[in-house]
A and B are shown apart, each in its own frame.
Chain A
Amino acid sequence: MTATEQALPTTTVGSFPKPPYLLEARRKHARKQLGAGELERLERQATEEWIRRQEEIGLDILVDGEMYRGDMVAFFADEMDGFAIPGLVRSYGNRYYPKPAVVGPVGRRRPVTVAWWTFAQSLTSKPVKGMLTGPYTIAEWSFNEHYPTRRELVLDLARAIHDEAVDLERAGARYIQIDEPAIHTRPDEDFELAVEAMDIVTRGLQAYTISHVCYGDVPRIYPAMLRLGVHQLDLALKNEDFALLDTFRSPRFTKDIGLGVIDAHSHRTESPDEVVEGIRRALKVIPLPQIYVSPDCGLKTRTIEETVAKLTSMVEGTRRVRKELSK
């Protein structure tokens, strides 16, 4: 499936840093010093700023930047039935996240992401991706106090996320990303379950579908991961200096790849030459029409300046490779 006319389409994984005024507004809102309406006005303002920045940088497939999300799992838990948030849990370093607990049957009360997607798309003529968190990851990153088995929880979540994807598509989304960063948590025990759940999510969709998987032991789920029911797998390669390319030599990488060429967790800005080098290395293993260029992960832990600098290098490096290839 050809998604764009240009070789090496550039995109990002989903999240961007929130501007200081929005962070402050979220703190005030949490202390009940700021109303929901005012918070949403600022979230819209920040979303529009990120749409403009992405256009200026020259990215091909945009995201809304997730200005209205705290965390990729808690956001869905907050908006769906069956969840409570018992508190903060550490993931690494001084990063904490509000880990939800499943306390009853899970399900969708109403569309979760469609209004924000529609708003973001109304601001640009470039395509904006619909951004969902996958059922396996929502289950794995929640405490399960209710379901007797993880399987029952994952499949109920898959049906709810499928309904959300259908609603995004009806609203006009041509790209839908379903992130599964937790997919290799229990590769032996659970990989088939994750595949089954993704099949439920993407069944019957016409949109171009993507799944972002990050860190963890990717070689361990290769080539099984090629069975995941999406068109593209978006992966972190820069973080491990493209070591994954060795894995993808054999058997051949048969899906499209979102090639992570920018480290999302370092302060250093990669040079355009580094990006060129990364893409060249990938081209030795994966054919050109299958490659999309992307950072390793969501950029929300970087500053706005770092994010813009990194993405500018990414787009510039990609342009240089395109130019080389067209010679």
Chain B
Amino acid sequence: MKTTVVGSYPKIPDPPAPGRWRTSVEKLQRGEMTPEDMHRVEDEVTAEALSEMAQAGIDILTDGQIRWEDGQTYFTRGLGGFAINGLQRYFDTNVYYRQPVCEGEVTWRGPISVDDYRFAAGHSPRPVKPVVTGPLTLAVLSRDEFYGNPDQFVMALAAALNKELKALAAAGAVLIQVDEPGLLGQRDRFPLFRRAMDVLWDGVGVRRALYTYFGHVDGLYPAILDLPVDIVGLDFVAGSRNWEVLRRAKFTKELGLGILDARNTKMETDEAVADACRRAAEIVPAAALYVGPSAGLEFLPRHVARRKLEVLAAGVRRAQEDAA
């Protein structure tokens, strides 16, 4: 049983500590800071996030996505064919993102996230998994003005991102996570999703994780087990129905158990986490469990995120001690 995170970590500390990242962005916008200096600030904040997550007791880290404006902009800014447009609500959250607009053929122009992954892996006390926003989610959250055919758009994104995954693998990543929260609003498009996953992961020689969040996978299960991935990460908070859904067929993958509510400050207890781990151990062997939050942690203030990770680690320890 391992602890992990799903993605983002709050970029700024709690007041009154100065939010260095935030003031640096303001300086950058006013032309009082160079992009190189900003990059160094992001380096420092990334290293700080990695160290905080590790200290809280997390085994497999992300880079905290400190450099991501949002999950869409970060990747589409690097791909060919996209412009970045106005603000849109991110699913059912009160977080906004800038909507990518596809204005031409989607192409992979070169590595987007590889340098950032290398930096994180080189500055982390624990293993780091790179995270990539998946083709269906990118398509759902973008506006297509080029393909005119939603399936073609998704497949073009899958082909472009396949090159990104290969570049991450070549840079040394042994586990890569692809996020597809968008799948949960597109259940009737599973055949397309399946084709997209085949193209996305083709020839990518790493352990493969696919994460969904913000809902349950009723209607997608057990079909989701046919996808070419090793780990399936699910949200058991917004998607508490997943407990019931997973009983309908034998779960044959490793499981990302999202049980810590990443979208509410209400604090879990060690015991509740341990209970969820025991319950999950009835679905998959404990060794195949990756216990984590329900989604990225940037929905929370920093101290709450950190405290939640500590509770998570304590709960998992408790479950392991009981099992031993």
Contact = CB atoms under 8 A, between A and B. Distances in A.
A93 B73 CA distance: 11
Contacts of B16: 30-31
Contacts of A88: 12, 14-15, 19, 301
Given A184-B89, A215-B96, A143 B11 contact: no
Given A92-B70, A94-B22, A217-B89, A87 B298 contact: no
B96 A91 contact: yes
Interface of A is mostly: mixed
Contacts of A93: 25, 69
Contact of B94 (A96, A101, A144, A185): A185
A160 interface: no
A237 B89 CA distance: 16
Contacts of A92: 69-70, 87, 95-98
Contact of B88 (A96, A144, A216): A216
B257 to A, nearest CB: 22
Interface size bracket, A side? 20 to 34
Contact of B87 (A94, A184, A215): A215
B11 A90 contact: yes
A145 B94 contact: no
Contacts of A86: 265, 301, 304
Interface string B12-55: 10111001011001100000000000000000000000000000
Contacts of B86: 215, 239-240, 265
Nearest to A214: B87
A257 B301 CA distance: 37
Contacts of B304: 86-87
A115 to B, nearest CB: 27
A91 B94 contact: yes
Interface of B is mostly: loop
Most buried by B among A30, A140, A143: A143
A89 B297 CA distance: 10
Contacts of B265: 86, 101, 143, 145
Given A86-B304, A87-B303, A96-B12, A143 B266 contact: yes
A240 B14 CA distance: 35
A217 B12 CA distance: 29
B192 interface: no
B236 interface: no
Contact of A186 (B92, B95, B299): B92
Interface string B300-324: 1111100000000000000000000
Given A215-B87, A215-B88, A90 B14 contact: no
A129 interface: no
Interface in B248-284: 263-266
B239 interface: no
A194 interface: no
Contacts, number: 82
B57 interface: no
Contacts of A145: 264-266
A213 to B, nearest CB: 11
Interface size bracket, B side? 35 or more
Interface in A114-156: 140-141, 143-145
A212 interface: no
B215 to A, nearest CB: 11
Contacts of B88: 215-217
A62 interface: no
Interface in B62-83: 69-70
A89 B301 contact: yes
A93 B86 CA distance: 12
Contacts of A51: none
Most buried by A among B16, B86, B98: B86
B299 to A, nearest CB: 6
A276 B21 CA distance: 41
A168 to B, nearest CB: 26
Interface string A173-187: 000000000101110
A215 B94 CA distance: 11
A310 interface: no
B10 interface: yes
Given A93-B25, A217-B89, A144 B264 contact: yes
Contacts of A26: none
A99 interface: yes
A141 B94 contact: yes
A86 B307 CA distance: 13
A90 B16 CA distance: 16
Contacts of B97: 92
Nearest to A186: B92
A216 B16 CA distance: 32
A144 B264 CA distance: 7
B301 A87 contact: yes
Nearest to B266: A145
Contact of A90 (B10, B89, B98, B303): B10
24 contacts: A30-B15, A30-B16, A86-B265, A87-B14, A87-B300, A87-B301, A87-B304, A88-B15, A89-B300, A90-B12, A91-B94, A92-B69, A92-B96, A93-B25, A94-B21, A140-B94, A141-B94, A143-B263, A144-B266, A184-B89, A215-B87, A215-B89, A217-B89, A265-B86
Interface of B: 10-12, 14-16, 19, 21-22, 25-26, 69-70, 86-89, 92-98, 263-266, 298-304
Given A89-B301, A101-B266, A239-B87, 9 more contacts: A30-B16, A31-B16, A88-B15, A91-B94, A94-B21, A94-B22, A101-B265, A141-B94, A184-B89
The 9 closest A-B pairs by CB, nearest first: A87-B301, A92-B96, A94-B25, A216-B89, A145-B266, A143-B265, A186-B92, A101-B265, A86-B265
